[in-house]
Structure 1
Amino acid sequence: MVKIILAILVLGIIVAIHEFGHFAIAKLCGIRVNQFAIGMGPAILKKKWGETEYSLRLLPIGGFCSMEGEDEASEDSRAFNHKSVPRRMAVVVAGAVMNLLLGFILLVITTGMGDAITTTTISRFHTDENGNSVSSSESSGLQVNDTIVRINGMRIYTDTDLSYKLQYTNDNDFTVDVRRNGEIVTLEHVRFEDTATTGRLDFWVYGQKPTVGSVLSYAAKNTYSIARMTWVCFLDLIRGNVGFHDMSGPVGIVNAIGEAATLGETLREHVLSLLSLSTLVTINLGFCNLLPLPALDGGRLVFLIIEAIRRKPIKPEHEGMVHLVGMGLLMLLMLAVTYNDIVRLIQ
């Protein structure tokens, strides 16, 4: 029960920070905010301060920041629809930006708490008990002190990119670009396999001493890497490379966060595990909200871009209908994914 409460609290904080991004920029742009809510459904607590009603709602699966003139025409001079396109764009993307910024901050914390920063430079290859190499990548031409720069054309910035590319590529025939002695060397038909364990990772990499500069640099690169991984997974879903059963909704996320909070043996390990998964969740939430789909922030951004090009807004009722249909489809998907999460938990 404790881990479920903790997981709901973490998810609630992530959503709250997202909505606070919309709220803060709306206030800075002089837009009237009517409601600011964390959660969905009936209000558990609510209080009105100034022009805005703040509420905490029953279901911790979302939240909203309701602005005057956001979904309908309004004569109020401070309404959302009366502000310039750049200001409205700033409000729309602010939630996602806050999630990405939170992810970056969490990465700074977890990286700084670590003993070393994982690099993509090979330190040694796997060997058996007799010291003989069991590394296929070494046989394929990789060498100690090679820094992996690209795999099959994908730029490798951090160990996150490296692990994802190796673990989620079906075939085992890679084109690898490495930095060797200051030059880029391209190796064809590289295999990654520990012949003793058949594991894909068959080498070790160097650790870098954490400094202020190295921590900030790694956190920035890894924020980008995780966001890009989310985009790649989204494309895989469209292409059919990832099935519906691989998706998780609020129930699955809460369960995963709760499980992460129990991993490890010490309090420090528990905290690192929880923060690491929270980082993935907040960056995924921020990036997915920018996808150009109806009812998401990215869908609203598309309408604003069209308005900027046409130099006149699309009729609010037309845009509202598109978002309404999108919200309906999104809720159906949410219900289906939640059902899938529950079945997975029962099994």
Structure 2
Amino acid sequence: MTQLAVADRRTAGRATRTTIAFAACGAIVVLAIVASLALGVRDVDPLTALRAVLDPSIGTIDAIAVRERIPRTVLGLLVGAALGLAGSLMQGVTRNPLADPGILGVNGGAALAVVIGIAFLGIVSPWQYLSLALVGAALAAAFVYVVGSIGRGGPTPIKLALAGAATSAALASLVSAILLPRTDVLTIFRQWQIGGIGGAEWDRMLVIAPVIGIAVVVGLLSAPALDAMALGEQAAKGLGVDVGPWRLTAAVAGVVLCGAGTALAGPIGFIGLVVPHVLRLLVGANHRALLPASLLGGAGLLLLADVVGRLIQDTAEVEAGIVAAFVGAPVLIVIARRSRMQGL
């Protein structure tokens, strides 16, 4: 078999896997939407849920229950897509499969800034939440990058991961130190701190959704540059890619997506780690396919985590952030073990 034939077969194989990945992600998103609308304290069959969404004049108890779940479903899709794409962008920028908004401290920075605003500034409006979350996420990302750049070799993947993990732990301690003495603030925002989509509000989503939309477009446009940078900086420059501005653009898009998602639903971790890593096994390192697939996969995974959290207990809900952590922690262990073995 000639080399050309082998290359054609590999290309066809990658195209098939990419098609399968997108089909699977689309099916998961559809399944998650149906489950989110139909399942809960009062279960509704899918056809009834569909009729309730399409015909607002239906006033049955089942229809009312379904329509009350619509904001929560939309919020899950919005935040999950933002976190999935943010994780994929950060992994592409740092060239590190361990990169994730939670592990790199970005989620923690956004959460700390919002908690400071709640406890000391009395913030209430969506714009205030968004502004503080973006500032906190950006400062945390910059701090982790600076710390990870210290020493020989500059900002290596391992150093960034270690700096991010240490920063995340420190930020979480600061959040607890601020909240614990203030029972009024702790009571109001306990669920937000855990991370969940149960408190969906249209006014907040309408303010923050355009910001997420712009960051999504910018992130997707950076895909060709990320593909070039994956070959190495010298190779990327040889292909005519201005590495510095594009790396900054993709990083800013990831930070904005993470900060906006945290402002809406709290610091939900592991979505940005699990989704890109799993999809990379199917579509490869091609960011033109990986980024939009991560967008879909993140939306589906967070929404399914929320549904599981509703059903896992009879008397109370388990927040989506906790369910996502149960899913993501084993994946993190597998990635760390594989990276260590490769390093050896």
TM-score by length of 2: 0.30
Structure number having the greater helix percentage:
2
Higher strand proportion: 1
TM-score between the two structures when normalised by the length of structure 1: 0.30
The structure, 1 or 2, with the larger RCO (C-alpha pairs under 8 Å, 6+ apart) is: 2
